[in-house]
Structure 1
Amino acid sequence: MFSLKKSAELIAAQEAGKPVVALESTIITHGMPYPQNLETARMVEDDIRAAGAVPATMAVIDGQLHAGLEAEELEALARAKDVAKLSRADLAACMAQGGTGATTVAATMIAARLAGISVFATGGIGGVHRGAEDSFDISADLAELAQTAVTVVAAGAKAILDIPKTLEVLETNGVPVIAYGQAAFPAFWSRDSGLTAPLSMNSAAEIAASHKMRALLGLPGGQLVGNPVPEVEEIPKSEITPIIGKALTEAQEQGISGKAVTPFLLQRIFELTEGRSLVTNIALVRNNARLAAEIARHLAA
Structure 2
Amino acid sequence: MPTIGNPFTKSKKKLEADMLFQMALQREQAAAQHQQAIEVERQYRLEEAARAEQRLRRQEEDYRRQQEIAEHERRRYLEDQARAEQEHRRQQEEHQRRLAAEQAARERRWQAEQQARQEQDRLRQSEHERLLAAERERTAQLEDERREKENREQMAREREFQRRENKLKLLRMTSPESLRSLRELIRRKYELDMAIWADRRVRAPLRPHVEAKMEQADAAYMEILTIVGIWEDNSNGAWNEREWKLASEVKARLEQDGKRMWAGNPPWEEG
TM-score (norm 1): 0.19
| Structure of greater Rg | 2
Identify the structure with bigger relative contact order (alpha carbons < 8 Å, sequence gap 6+): 1
Structure (1 or 2) with the greater strand fraction:
1
